[in-house]
Amino acid sequence: MWLPIFTTFLAVLVIASIVLSIKGRNRRMLANRIPGPEGTFIVGMLPLAIQGAEQKIKGAQDVYRTYEKSMFKAWLFNKLYIVLTRPEDIEFVLASPKFLRKAKEYMVLQQSIMGQGIFTIEDINKWKINRKLVTKGFSFKLLKEFIPIFYEEALVLAEILGDNSDSTSKECDISVPVSMATMEMIGKTALGVTFNAQKGGCNRFVENLLTAMHAWEYRITHPWYLSSTLFQFSSIKQKHDHSQKIINEFTDEIIKSKIVEINNSGSENGVNADDDDIGRNTKTLTKIFLENPHENMTLEQIRDELVTVMIGGQETTAMANACVVFMLAHHQDVQDKVFKEQESIFSIGDRNRPITYNDLLQMEYLERVIKETLRLFPPLPVFGRDLNEDTTIGDHLCPAGSTLIICPLFLHSSPQHYGSTAHGPDAFDPDNFLPEACHERHAYAYIPFSTGPRNCIGIKYAMLQMKTVASTLVRHHRFLPSDRCPTPDQLRLVFLTTLKLADGCYVKVEPRRPQ
């Protein structure tokens, strides 16, 4: 009885292999002309892909450095990845409206909680319409109104870090408090809700968002679960689905309550000057979306956009803020300069006044510090685009069906672009962002926010928020290296869906004397 089943199975397998092999011949032929590691027979780079998250970064960096003079290819099973390393090729792809389709790997996020939000939506025509709408929520006029919220939460963070630093050693892992602060900020500015995340408030949205994010990380580190069919059998699938349900319900509740508010506001156009739960005259993104009914968005789409913005804006800025503080702790000369700049802006006796937009504009040195931190620790270390037709990029004809990979983490530390700095590309040097240094470099050798039509929508939001946080923290505390992580090269990075700190982010926190 088993023999016919086995024979049929074998026959199907052989036919499928022959079909795939004929279909993929053109792709393999073109791929053969692109340099790159051969990888193991059939499984390709799987041995690298399944390494621990930290080893994976090191292994990938070695391969990158070997081939970075040109683009290179890597196979994973039947999937061809082409890694772009030259800024000219990266510009060709990112600046062009032809390459807007994100890589299939983003589907993990789409199937989870980002849904049809602009980060993961596949339909490019819909993406164009929705991106226009989301952009409205990131106008300078609106973002400026977020500054008091950033400042208020940064103050709470400063207080928490002061309290948390153990009284004798002054050691403190800042990663969790910083992450809770950015969660609170994005909650207030995007949704218009107070989570009380910084003050230990147990919020079902925050908890379930974290659970959903862990589920993605699990799928990334167990690549066979990238297949939604196989993920059905995973032990965390149930937990993931539960979180997804809670997040959706929670966001729907908020949207519905905002609709009621808008309808009750009695203003001429159906919306009042503004809201909201946080008692400010601030327009949240939720309201921006709801005020634009002509855009024909369903409630489900609005929910997906809001969740997308929450996720896009939280983890990324949390990682960046923690790394800024860490680098300041390890570069006292830089921290002194940042503090001096703050003192010049907040004149003596005025150190504790709230920040204004004009203050932020004057923080030129701090801006360079943040840019340099994003160079060495780009929160999104890799991103990818699908190639749906054979395309010549640089010197190579890249076959349709491959995935183009761009990797800011390795690009930003390439000796080819940052080799002329006094201590090499890995050294922390904010002067890399002096105008003359930027002028000498290819513009696409620095892309923490990506660039072109599909770039980060939250750049201005992020910069205003990060400057407010760093300015407030530095005015309240001096940061020093912790004994638990005495040198920057001991800060262990892992790549999950974003760049993460494997052991948290320890520094010493020494409150500055009041003036």
Give the bridge partners for 300, in sequence order: none
Stretch that binds ligand HEM, among 209-217, 264-272, 327-335, 454-462 (CB under 6 A): 454-462
Interface size with ligand HEM, residues (CB under 6 A): 25
SS3 call for 266: coil
Nearest to 19 by CA among 78, 81, 75: 78
- Please state, in angstroms and rounded to a whole number, the distance separating the CA atoms of residues 421 and 445: 14
Of the candidate spans 195-203, 234-242, 394-402, 447-455, the one that interacts with ligand HEM by CB under 6 A turns out to be: 447-455
Q: Is 320 in the site for ligand HEM (CB under 6 A)?
A: yes
Query: Per CB under 6 A, does 382 bind ligand HEM?
Result: no
> Is 328 one of the binding residues for ligand HEM (CB under 6 A)?
no
State which residue, 255 or 457, has the beta carbon closest to ligand HEM.
457
From 271, 457, 464, 473, residue interacting with ligand HEM (rule: CB under 6 A):
457
Residue 74 is a binding residue for ligand HEM (CB under 6 A): no
Binding mask 155-174 vs ligand HEM (x if CB under 6 A, - otherwise)?
A: --------------------
Report the alpha-carbon distance of residue 231 to residue 251 in Å, rounded: 25
Q: Is 456 annotated as a binding residue?
A: yes
| Closer residue to ligand HEM in complex, CB, 346/383 | 383
Quick check: 448 binds ligand HEM (CB under 6 A)?
Answer: yes
When the beta carbons of 150 and 346 are compared against ligand HEM, the nearer one is 150
**Per rule CB under 6 A, is residue 377 in the interface with ligand HEM?**
no
In whole angstroms, the minimum distance from the beta carbon of 119 to ligand HEM comes to 4
Of 214, 205, 250, residue with least CA distance to 235:
214
Question: What is the residue-wise DSSP string for 106-138?
Answer: GHHHIIIIITTSTTT---HHHHHHHHHHHHHTT
- Is residue 379 a contact residue for ligand HEM (CB under 6 A)? yes
| 3-state SS assignment for residue 460 | helix
Name which position in 84, 118, 143, 247 contacts ligand HEM (CB under 6 A): 118
- 458 belongs to the binding site for ligand HEM (CB under 6 A): yes
> What does the alpha-carbon distance between residue 487 and residue 51 come to, in Å, rounded to a whole number?
25
- Within a 10 A sphere around the Cβ of 315, how many other Cβ atoms? 24
Residue 149 sits in the site that holds ligand HEM (CB under 6 A): no
Binding-site string for ligand HEM from residue 123 to residue 142, where x marks contact by CB under 6 A and - marks none:
--------x-----------
- The three-state DSSP-derived secondary structure of 10-78 is HHHHHHHHHHHHHHCHHHHHHHHCCCCCCCECCCECHHHHCCCHHHHHHHHHHHHHHHCCCCEEEEECC
Stretch that binds ligand HEM, among 48-56, 332-340, 347-355, 449-457 (CB under 6 A): 449-457
Please state, in angstroms and rounded to a whole number, the distance separating the CA atoms of residues 83 and 64.
8
Distance CA 93, CA 503 (A): 35
**Is residue 407 a contact point for ligand HEM (CB under 6 A)?**
no
Q: Does 175 bind ligand HEM (CB under 6 A)?
A: no
Pick the binder of ligand HEM from 80, 174, 456, 496 (CB under 6 A): 456
At its nearest, how many Å lie between ligand HEM and the CB of residue 515? 31
For 366-402, give one letter per residue: b (16+ CB within 10 A) or e. Answer: bbbbbbbbbbbbbbbbbbbbbbeeebebeebebbebb
SS3 state at 511: strand
Q: Of these, 251, 317, 414, 471, which contacts ligand HEM (CB under 6 A)?
A: 317
Q: Are 324 and 175 in contact (CB under 8 A)?
A: no
Quick one: 244 or 284, whose CB is closer to ligand HEM?
284
Sequence-ordered list of residues with C-beta below 8 angstroms from that of 221, at least 6 positions apart, any chain: 50, 53, 496
The rounded radius of gyration (Å) of the Cα atoms in the chain is 24
Strands 403-406 and 79-84: parallel
Query: Measured at CB, which residue is nearest to ligand HEM?
Result: 458
> Judged by CB under 6 A, which of 81, 119, 195, 377 binds ligand HEM?
119
Residues 6+ apart with CB under 8 A from 326: 174, 479, 485, 488, 491, 505, 507
Does 308 participate in binding ligand HEM (rule CB under 6 A)? yes
Residue 413 interacts with ligand HEM (CB under 6 A): yes or no:
no
Based on the shown chain and the rule CB under 6 A, indicate whether residue 86 belongs to the binding site for ligand HEM: no
Query: Does residue 51 belong to the site contacting ligand HEM (CB under 6 A)?
Result: no
Can residue 179 be called a binding residue for ligand HEM (CB under 6 A)?
A: no
CB atoms within 10 A of CB 453: 14
Interface residues toward ligand HEM, by CB under 6 A: 102, 118-119, 131, 308-309, 312-313, 316-317, 320, 374, 378-380, 383, 448-450, 454, 456-458, 461-462
Annotated binding site for heme: 456
Annotated binding site: 456
